[in-house]
A = this chain, B = another copy of it.
Amino acid sequence: MPDSAALTRSPMVNPTPIPTPPGGVFDGARHLYAVRVYYEDTDLSGITYHANYLRWFERARSDLLRMLEIDQRAAIESEEGAYAVSEINLKYLRPAKLDDDVVIETTCTELGAASCRMHQIARRGDEALCEASLRVGFISLEGRPRRQPAPWRAAFHEFMTKKDT
């Protein structure tokens, strides 16, 4: 049984803290989230494959929702709806390489009833690697635009109007 060891390991004998997945931080009206470049992100040209920035940006937005206490999984399971990207404009500025530390900055630039616009930048230190402007719509599971739940919209509004710390 693969987890018998885990089950019998006493916390007194083994106090090493179990690591938790990465989480972002708020910095005023910005959300910051870090990724490291792994093998899976690169292609044979030695740099991050262009589509993989979309995966990083989505992780950062999912983390932002989590920090705003918006439960995407419950909303899908209850068939309430889901956020979906309807438009995204990407600029690739500099390449990212294996083992680079990259920080994704996310801001919300416009909030509507059924959608919002966001801006995201991937940076390595002070260098911008890729930036994205996007529109995310809230949709029913059949794909129709739907008003965002009021508490979710309120959470976005509060995020957008945060003061710089």
Contacts and interface: CB of A to CB of B under 8 A. Distances in A.
Contacts of A126: 3, 6-7
A20 to B, nearest CB: 5
Interface string A55-70: 1001100110010000
A92 interface: yes
When all copies of this chain in the complex are counted, the total is 4
Contacts of A15: 165
Contacts of A25: 16-17, 19
A152 interface: no
A109 to B, nearest CB: 13
A28 B51 CA distance: 29
Interface string A72-109: 11001000001011111111111101110111000000
A91 to B, nearest CB: 5
A55 B52 CA distance: 9
A24 interface: yes
Interface string A28-64: 1000111110111011111101111011001100110
9 contacts: A18-B32, A38-B59, A39-B49, A44-B45, A47-B143, A51-B52, A66-B99, A72-B99, A86-B91
Given A19-B34, A21-B35, A43-B44, 16 more contacts: A6-B126, A16-B25, A18-B34, A19-B23, A19-B32, A21-B34, A38-B59, A39-B49, A40-B49, A42-B44, A44-B98, A45-B84, A50-B54, A73-B97, A89-B89, A89-B90
